[in-house]
Amino acid sequence: MIKGIFNKKVLGALVLAAMLSACKSTPMTDKPAGVEDKSPAGSSQSSDGSADTSGVKEVTIDSNANNGNNPLKDPNNILSKRNIYFDFDSDTVRAEFRPLIEAHAKYLLANTDAKLVLQGNADERGTREYNVSLGQRRAVSVKKSFNLLGVQDKQIETVSFGEEKASGNCADEACHQLNRRVDVVYEND
Amino acid sequence: MKKLLNLFQVALLSATAFMASAIVTPVSHAALEIEISGGNAQQLPIAIVPFNQDNVKNQENIANIISADLRRSGMFRVLETAGVVSQPSNISQVKYSDWAALQAQAIAVGKIETLPGNRLKVSFQLGDVLKQTQLAGMDYNIAPNQLRMTAHKIADVIYQKLTGESAIFASRIAYINKSKGRYALQVADADGVNPQTVVSSNEPIISPAWSPDGSKIAYVSFEKKKPIIFVQSLMTGQRITLASFKGNNSAPAWSPDGSKLAIVLTHAANSQLYLINADGSGLKQLTKSSAIDTEPIWSPDAKWIYFSSDRGGSPQIYKVSSIGGDAQRVTFDGPYNLSPRFSPDGKSLAMIRNDGGKFRVALQNLTTGQVQILSEGSQDESPSFAPNGRVILYATRAAGRGSLAAVSADGRVRQRLSESGGDIREPAWGPLLN
């Protein structure tokens, strides 16, 4: 079941990549490798019996409207979990978030065209620019976890919103805790 | 006249008067509401006679603008002149005995006349009441829309002549105004009046920094879902992308000659300091640490870049030569010091200190090392010196709402600027306008 979902997503990615490379004047460089990586998934696509052309159409609809078939947006799939929380003044990734990171790492390794943005956040205490740096350090900490699982830097960008996306007026620690966070965002989310 | 500050409260509190019962004198004019409280501060009594502007239509009362500036400085007591029979508009008409009776030590008079070609002539003279002599006299040939700034320039002349210090009023402040989910970088006169939006976005804008000549502002915009540094010309609105590298691009700080900026980039790691030319060329890495290095600021002599870093564990202020090299620690006092800002004379450093869980503006004398806590809030940020170094503007928060406040560098005079309904932060005081 999950494989089938992956197939459609991959096919969509390939179509998108082909469109993008068609627009570019530069010759394809990384793209052929990406195609080869996904050929095993693509071959299992043929087993579900639907015509290749209609498959392409379905993917387009999937990516625009039907989140149910997208593992990244399926609420029952761990890949839909996108928030990693941190202790005060800490960039240590807590053990409870390892399954989340492992699941996204697996997805990135299987979908080498997929690009991830790790968006760091900080609570509102401290200065704005310093909090940009604190959020960044958390994003970098999560990125290193991905690196250890074999994901390359070219698939990840680490950025920080500092305290700018923090829900203000926190009166207690539970509220601050929600702002000390790295959000896992896919480039085409 | 557009107004930023529906409520512009000014509280002049001498340290002693604050402890004793303060006299509160609300003075209202135009749409500004100014609240002054103060007691035994050494304030020079001055009379600002309403300028003769009978022949000029639809113009603001220039004497009121000058009076408000002088009051706000905390250095002057502006006297009520309405009860005096003679209302001179030229120094030759001044009967000094009238003003001595009012206990004025100085008097300013002037008039506005129309000139051909839709121009105005503003003349003003400043007199010493005790010596019965003229101290200053100026004529300005201006376009009508320059009248308000001309009033600030006159206030500057008065301030300079009578205090011996350099001017402050003919300058502008930049700040971020968050309202209804939108972020606007705005520029207003130093008295908070005449706000103009430089750029607005539905994503955050932070860290505005004036070019030394006041013609451009660098800022950080999150409009592309990550921090990117732009430099925008105030006159033309044209902007360039100064830095948009992978990762974060933030904390721009102009060199004193305006030729380059210190910035913070991350690429795929922690915040580090870089130098970049003002046109976005010539990127050069300045610090190489595994820690956070951010919030760079140039020393006025351009030899040093001061910055904040947690390389020693807790966030403290360090300095590095602007041509590179090893960093040296600057602050040792207190567990947490951030946001260094140089006084214009280079002799002291304002910063944000975590003072028992409260983030406050502190001022460190770089010669003696002595530190004074200047602000009284719990989330004070973004200190910014007035062009003459006597006042520090900063952001403060109360009940989840941001406003601006200012404190004199000696801690004696306090002001609060707020806009009803707005959320104002990230102030930056611009250079004097010539």
Q: Are residues B257 and B342 in the same domain?
A: yes
Q: How far apart are CA B389 and CA B386, in angstroms?
A: 5
pLDDT value, residue A67: 53
Contacts of B352 in chain A (CB under 8 A): 127
Give pLDDT, residue B222.
97
Q: Which of B115, B132, B163 is the last residue of a domain?
A: B163
Interchain contact, A127 vs B352, CB within 8 Å: yes
Interface pTM (ipTM) of the complex?
0.87
Query: Is A111 a residue whose pLDDT tops 90?
Result: yes
| Per-domain boundaries in chain A | 2-69, 78-186
**B292, B336, B399 member nearest A137 (Cβ):** B292
Distance, in Å, from the CA atom of B244 to the CA atom of B313, rounded to the nearest integer, reads: 29
> Any idea what DSSP says for residue B79?
P
Shared-domain flag, residues B159 and B259: no
Nearest-angstrom CA–CA distance, A43 and A47: 8
Q: A-B interface: how many C-beta pairs under 8 angstroms? A: 100
| Residue B121 maps to a domain | yes
The mean predicted confidence, pLDDT, of chain A is 74
Return the CATH number at B211.
Answer: 2.120.10.30
Dihedrals φ, ψ of B90, to 5°? -145, 145
Distance (Å) of CA B386 to CA B168, B169, B342, B392, B411: 7, 9, 11, 6, 14
Q: Answer yes or no: is B340 within a domain.
A: yes
Query: What's B77's domain CATH number?
Result: 3.40.50.10070
Which of chain A's residues have a Cβ under 8 Å away from the Cβ of B204?
Answer: 161, 164-165
Find the chain A residues whose C-beta atoms sit closer than 8 A to any C-beta of B.
Answer: 117, 119, 124-130, 132-134, 136-137, 140, 143, 153, 156-162, 164-165, 168-169
How buried is residue B115: exposed, middle or buried, by Cβ count under 10 Å (0-12/13-18/19+)? exposed
pLDDT tens string B350-376 = 999 998 889 999 999 999 999 999 999
Whether residues B190 and B337 fall in one domain: yes
* Closest in A125, A136, A156 to B270, CB measured: A136
Whether residue A10 is predicted with pLDDT greater than 70 in this model: the reply is no
Two structure tokens written together for A102 = 């492992």
CA B137 distance to own-chain centroid = 26
pLDDT for B353: 97
At residue A161 the predicted structure's pLDDT band, cuts being 50, 70 and 90, is very high
**What single-letter DSSP state applies at residue A92?**
P
- B47 plus B117 within the same structural domain: yes
Q: Are residues B194 and B145 located together in one domain of the fold?
A: no
Please indicate, yes or no, whether residues B295 and B404 belong to a single structural domain of this protein.
Answer: yes
CB < 8 Å to A162, chain B: 206, 227
Q: Which residues are bridge partners to B35 per DSSP?
A: B26
Decide if B206 and A143 are in contact by the 8 Å CB cutoff. no
Contact B336, B353 (CB under 8 A): yes
Query: With 0-12 CB in 10 A as exposed, 13-18 as middle and 19+ as buried, what is A115?
Result: middle
Q: Is residue B364 part of a domain?
A: yes
Please indicate, yes or no, whether residues B285 and B415 belong to a single structural domain of this protein.
yes
Which residues of chain B carry a pLDDT beneath 70? 1-41, 418-421
- DSSP for B232-281, written as a single string: EETTT--EEEEE--SS-EEEEEE-TTSSEEEEEE-TTSS-EEEEEETTS-
Q: What is the pLDDT, as a whole number, of residue B26?
A: 35
Q: What is the pLDDT of residues B83-118, one digit of tens each?
A: 898 999 999 999 999 999 999 999 999 999 999 999
| Nearest Cβ partner for A126 among B207, B359, B426 | B359
CA of B74: how far to CAs of A72, B12, B22, B159, B395, in Å?
60, 6, 15, 11, 20
Instruction: Tell whether the model's pLDDT for residue A182 goes beyond 90.
Output: yes
**Domain-embedded: residue B116:** yes
Q: Which residue bears the tokens 């050929």?
A: A39
Tell whether the model's pLDDT for residue A9 goes beyond 90: no
Count the domains in chain B. Answer: 2
Say yes or no: B155 and B175 in one domain: no
| pLDDT tens digits along A121-135 | 999 889 999 999 999
Q: CA-based Rg of chain A, rounded to a whole angstrom?
A: 19
Q: Is residue B11 assigned to a domain?
A: no
For residue B400, give the nearest of A130, A153, A168 by CB distance: A168
B264·A129 Cβ contact <8 A: yes
Note the pLDDT tens digit of each residue in B301-335: 999 999 999 999 999 999 999 999 999 999 998 88
| Cα separation, A180 vs A176, whole angstroms | 7
* pLDDT tens, position by position, A65-110: 445 578 898 889 999 999 999 998 789 999 999 999 999 999 999 9
pLDDT of residue A164: 95
Task: Please give the model's pTM, rounded to 2 decimal places.
Answer: 0.82
Q: Evaluate whether residue B322 is within a structural domain.
A: yes
* B169 vs B224: CA distance, rounded Å: 37
Q: Could you tell me if B225 and B354 lie in one domain?
A: yes
Residues B158 and B233 in one domain: no
Last residue of one domain, picked from the residues B100, B130, B163: B163
Residue whose pair of structure tokens reads 């206030």 in the numeric block? B155
Given a contact cutoff of 8 angstroms between Cβ atoms, the answer to whether B206 and B219 are in contact is: yes
Asked if residue B380 belongs to a domain, the reply is yes
Q: How confident is the model at residue B38, as a pLDDT?
A: 37
Taking each helix axis as running N to C, give the angle between helix A128-148 and helix A98-110, from 0 to 180 degrees, rounded to the nearest 10. 70
Same domain, B60 and B177: no
Residue B194 domain boundaries: 171-432
Q: Please say whether the dihedral angle defined by the alpha carbons of residues B152, B157, B159 and B165, taken in this order, is positive or negative.
A: positive
Last residue of a domain, one of B163, B198, B232: B163
Same structural domain, B147 and B185:
no
Locate the chain B residue with the closest alpha carbon to A136.
B270
The CATH code belonging to domain A78-186 is 3.30.1330.60
Give the CA count within 13 Å in the CB-facing half-sphere of B257.
Answer: 6
Q: Using the predicted structure, report yes or no on whether residue A62 has a pLDDT greater than 70.
A: no
